[in-house]
Amino acid sequence: MVQPPYGGFPPANPYYRAMAPKPGCIPLRPLDVSEVLGGAVTAIRRNLKTVLSLSAVAGAVQAVLSLILQRYADLHGQQVLDQSDPANPVVHWNQLGKLVGSAFGLSLVGSTIAAVLTGMVVVVVTEDVVGRTASLELVWSKVRSRVWRLIALSLAIGLLEALGLVLFLAPGIRLWGIWAVAVPALIIENQGLGAALRRSQNLVRGTFWRVWGIRALGFGIVSVAGGVVSIAGGILAAAVTGDQPAGLLGNGNGSLSWPYLVIAALGAGVVATFAAPFQASVDSLLYVDLRMRKEQLAVDLQQAAAGVRQPPPGYSR
């Protein structure tokens, strides 16, 4: 195969773009926006059995735990703000405590499960890039020794980004961009927490808004699809059971029944099953794309695709 001069791969050159091999979900050259998003879908489709097996288990666990926490909170039996006497509204602080505790618990559970699932999907997608199929055994063997670092990294990123958004909007936006590929760096390069954050920042440097924009597009797609499923689940649950959630202040019909919560939890599980793998796939392909742009990883991957050499183990530097 003819290689471009100096080992580079000019992304704007149509000849080299057309010549790039595509053994997996993406062509082995710097990618455009549609190729990152489309490649994420393709990677999931090509590895549907493995990805759905992982995400279905994660989604089921999250749905069951969410169901338990929501039933514990049971906000609809007693509203946080009782306005039955408009002249003398009463705040039920115990219910507010349940609300806060339930929300925190749901967030912690969701973040932990999503962290492990993301790390596993990263392995699947990066293997697919070079045309290899990752078995469940291979995925677990690569993630197992890094799982606690992975959870700690994801929780730290989530907490710091949330604080940045709440206290000062701009820092939260910046962190969401510069740490975009910290999880793939930790998994693929076996980095520590601090090293993974620095590695991500170095890879993103100079392409911040491009990376941020692609992540935002992926997040928007997931959010819209997830919102539609969640609303449909709520409507179905209300139609089947006749329950009407009251929220904090609303005019519901009392405590929600188990059937309502089960149907709502199933909807949440469906959202989790498909949303997390897509976002993880986007981040994984951004990681590969940045390394192809900045570290000539495309040349090594092309040689591997042509049979000249073995694929880089773990894409190690």
Q: Per-residue pLDDT tens for 5-60?
A: 334 445 455 555 667 889 999 999 999 999 999 999 999 999 999 998 888 888 77
**pLDDT at res. 1:** 41
Is there a domain that residue 4 lies in? no
Is there a domain that residue 129 lies in? yes
Q: Per-residue pLDDT tens for 226-255?
A: 777 777 777 776 777 766 655 444 444 445
**pLDDT at res. 251:** 47
**pLDDT at res. 90:** 58
Q: Per-residue pLDDT tens for 217-229?
A: 999 988 887 777 7
pLDDT band at residue 114 under the 50/70/90 scheme: confident
b/e for 266-293, b at 16 or more Cβ within 10 A?
bbbbbbbbbbbbbbbbbbbbbbbbbbbb
What gap in Å lies between CA 118 and CA 230, rounded to an integer? 21
**pLDDT at res. 25:** 93
Is there a domain that residue 110 lies in? yes
Is there a domain that residue 49 lies in? yes
- Which one is predicted more confidently, 203 or 14? 203
Which structural domain, as residue segments, surrounds residue 158? 28-75+90-309
- Which one is predicted more confidently, 9 or 94? 94
Is there a domain that residue 41 lies in? yes
Is there a domain that residue 249 lies in? yes
The count of other CB atoms within 10 Å of the CB of residue 137 is 8
Q: Which residues, in sequence order, are CB contacts of 61 under 8 Å at separation 6+?
A: 113
Residue 198 confidence (pLDDT) above 50: yes
Is there a domain that residue 2 lies in? no
Write out the two tokens for 22.
């595509």
pTM of the model: 0.78
Most confident of 62-66, 72-76, 276-280: 276-280
How many domains does the chain divide into? 1
What gap in Å lies between CA 48 and CA 45, rounded to an integer? 5
Is there a domain that residue 264 lies in? yes
